[in-house]
Structure 1
Amino acid sequence: MTDPDRAPVTIVPVETKAQWRDFHHLPFAVYADDPNWVPPLLLERRLHFSPKHNPYFRHATAAFFLAYRGARPVGRITAQVDRLHQERHRDATGHFGFIEALDEPDVFAALLGAAEDWLRGQGMARAIGPVSFSLWDQPGLLVDGFDTPPYVMMNHHRPYYADRIIGTGYAPAEDLIAYRYGPEADTARLEKLLGRAMRGGEISLRTIRMDKAHFRDEVAMLLDIINDAWSDNWGYVPMTQAEIDDLAGILRLLLRPGDVAIAEYQGRPAAFAAIFPNLNEAIRDMRGRLFPFNWIKLLWRMKVRRPRTARMPMMGVRKALQATPVGAALSLSVIRAVREFNFARGVVDSELSWILARNSRVRHVIEMVGGVPYKTYRLYEKPL
């Protein structure tokens, strides 16, 4: 009789309802005894992986794989090719993502091998990951900072993942840094810097207009700033209109006007920062389920009690101003505005993430006002 724990690893494409259930439930086995893992909402995950509901799939092709040892699911992975990435970068690079597995080297090797074979079949010459699904989503493998839970839309992994991925021939490509920006940050220095920078009166601040007549145009303006500010960043691909519309719907549900600060320079929008309530704080004890009653709990926690932690995932300054004193003042002003709004309303801690490790200019601004790097996420690459 064969020992199921010694059975060979088999890789299958995810196709049936039962396989999709195994795919989405696998992290619950991997992180069963990890107190810092936050179970995602399973309904949201199913929608995220649905071509009908996720506009990413309008410009990308993906494959989904499960690893079984005997009848037991032991790992999962995705492989994807983004046509917009190919059009912009022309580097024959595909991505793997959503990798989760038990601590078994042959499982990692089989999963990554399946993703690589699929990417080769799509004409790709290099694999980078984990990218889940895109840099707009949840990129990077946690390699430092395992001792605290992740903020909303940030990854959490087991420490052994890095060794297992490197063991299959991958090398580090880029690091992404998350900063803690807590109540002890040096706001006095921030006030001094801003007071000096804003004496000329050419910088003014306002919040986002969320009324029906203006909100869509406001979101488009923010994305225009981002597309300009981030256009030279590593791996950057602009959002499509469908993705912008999808994001706008999410922002409308989550944000208050004061959560988005817009800085105008000489009367034109030139920078902004947005801060999101930390959804992970609100769902941490729900075990991934909204029904039958958790949706009521979630609504109360997000709209009435509000999370006491928040994440700033978006901040941008127009490219022409980035290397100037005005650009620094714009960055500082929008960071201060969203921070003050939230800390005055019960937020006690926040995260600024993610920032490319090589982006010394933005990192300097954040560290200048008291941000402390506390988590590192790594992307790996391998020639195919």
Structure 2
Amino acid sequence: MPSGPLSIRPVSSKRDIKQFIEIAYRLNGDDPNWVAPLRDEVAGTINPKKNGWFSHAEAQLFLAERDGEPVGRISAHIDFLALDMPPEKGFGPGTGFWGMFEAEDQNAAKALINAAEDWLRGKGMTRAFGPVSLSIWEEPGLLVKGHDHSPTVLMGHHPAKYQGWIEAAGYKEAKKLLTYELDVSKQFPPLINRIVENGEKNPKIRIRKVDKSKFDREAAIIMAILNDAWSDNWGFIPLTQPEIDDVGKKLKPLVFEDLILIAELEGEPVAFMVTLPDLNEQLKPLKGSLLPFGWAKLLLWLRKPKARTMRVPLMGVVKRLQASRMASQLAFMMIEYIRRAAVANYGATRGEIGWVLDDNQGMNAIADAIDSWVNREYAIYQKPL
């Protein structure tokens, strides 16, 4: 462990970028529940040419060093769409962010957060939210509950000590995000089954699988519902076309038609549910690299995946239906159909729904109704600058 004086400097070279990526593997490698992301994926996230989020954002990366060796990292960034949000919905004018946070000790953590705050102040920002890495749609929040098991695909995992370090830097919790776990091998309660059966008798309702051969069309339908359904949520920033294009390229190999459903009411798409087999179960043994044979194992798995866990990262019902019984009925129908497919076709025994805002009463009620329980909590912190 380096013991010399601490310095913080901006990332400016290819070598710096490599060090920025690698420090996470050194600091987290001994955590049995950490899942090392593929290095190429991390490199793509911080590359403006490969991440559509940069079409409406800017970022500066920083490294903490002792004796010339990296001991931490952080990003400071501004999402210009967040600046246009009404403050009562979370962000708004003067809002900056930091994320991609890793630190060897509390002194490094404090210095890195200070560097991010100074950069944001220099850009005219008046408050900071973190950690958000990088987009609110990517890995928002710090894990504060659930350190005893590995995260599912596209979810973060952080050392428990980070919470104290961030709070000691003057940050207060702004919002909590929840994930729910459930045993998908079990039938849902009788009430839910009756709701599903009643929906099946309604000729106005059609629940259909996505058509992967028409991927762009289906993605556009889902994103239109999403941007409407989530528009009143805290922290909502609409997904832009460059982001949709990049996410589509990344997730297309994980798209299986029986795991992504669209609900139509009188022929109009009004709800959707996206479910992904837990890729992390396959990534964990690879330790962040597809070489020498990881790529072959991954490709073989993707042809006919078996996964213990399924994750529901996104679902939504158009805003005009959200206060109605129809919204719940459509949600329960999609959940049940995907539960059946997950068990029968992929060997799943476990499901995870999230993240869900802790004050999203509708989603929390649905989670309770299907006998799920909170297994992980993430906190987004804020501080005046």
TM-score normalized by structure 2?
A: 0.94
Q: Distance in 2 between matches of 1:108 and 1:347?
A: 39
1:143-191 deviations in whole A, cap 9, x for unaligned? Answer: 0010100111101011110000000100000000011122355514321
What is the aligned length? Answer: 378
In structure 2, what is the equivalent of residue 47 of structure 1? 44
SS state of the match for residue 183, structure 2? coil
Q: Is the 8 A contact 2:131 2:381 kept in 1?
A: yes
The range that moved more, 340-349 or 217-226, is 340-349
1:59-100 deviations in whole A, cap 9, x for unaligned? Answer: 100000011122221111001101111123433111101101
The percentage of counterpart residues that share the same residue type is: 39
Q: Which amino acid aligns with 1:50?
A: N
Q: Distance in 2 between matches of 1:339 and 1:358?
A: 25
1:236-255 correspondence runs (5 A): 236-255=236-255
Asked if residue 169 in structure 1 is aligned to residue 170 in structure 2, the reply is yes
Asked if residue 111 in structure 1 is aligned to residue 112 in structure 2, the reply is yes
Q: CA-atom RMSD, angstroms?
A: 1.5
Asked if residue 15 in structure 1 is aligned to residue 17 in structure 2, the reply is no
Q: Is the 8 A contact 2:33 2:150 kept in 1?
A: yes
SS state of the match for residue 262, structure 1? strand
In structure 1, what is the equivalent of residue 89 of structure 2? none
Q: Distance in 1 between matches of 2:304 and 2:326?
A: 38
Q: Distance in 1 between matches of 2:281 and 2:31?
A: 16
Q: Which amino acid aligns with 1:367?
A: D
Asked if residue 101 in structure 1 is aligned to residue 103 in structure 2, the reply is yes
- Unaligned segments of structure 2, at least 5 residues: 87-91
Q: Distance in 2 between matches of 1:58 and 1:162?
A: 31
| Displacement of 1:305 | 4.2
SS state of the match for residue 310, structure 1? strand
In structure 2, what is the equivalent of residue 205 of structure 1? 207
- Residue 38 and residue 251 in structure 1: after superposition, are their counterparts in 2 closer, same or farther (change >3 A)? closer
In structure 2, what is the equivalent of residue 216 of structure 1? 216
In structure 2, what is the equivalent of residue 36 of structure 1? 33
SS state of the match for residue 155, structure 1? coil
In structure 2, what is the equivalent of residue 182 of structure 1? 183
TM-score normalized by structure 1?
A: 0.95
1:1-384 correspondence runs (5 A): 4-5=2-3, 7-89=4-86, 90-102=92-104, 104-183=105-184, 185-189=186-190, 190-211=192-213, 214-345=214-345, 346-384=347-385
SS state of the match for residue 166, structure 2? helix
Q: Is the 8 A contact 1:274 1:338 kept in 2?
A: no
| Displacement of 1:328 | 0.8
| Displacement of 1:293 | 2.0
Q: Distance in 2 between matches of 1:257 and 1:342?
A: 11
- Residue 370 and residue 197 in structure 1: after superposition, are their counterparts in 2 closer, same or farther (change >3 A)? same
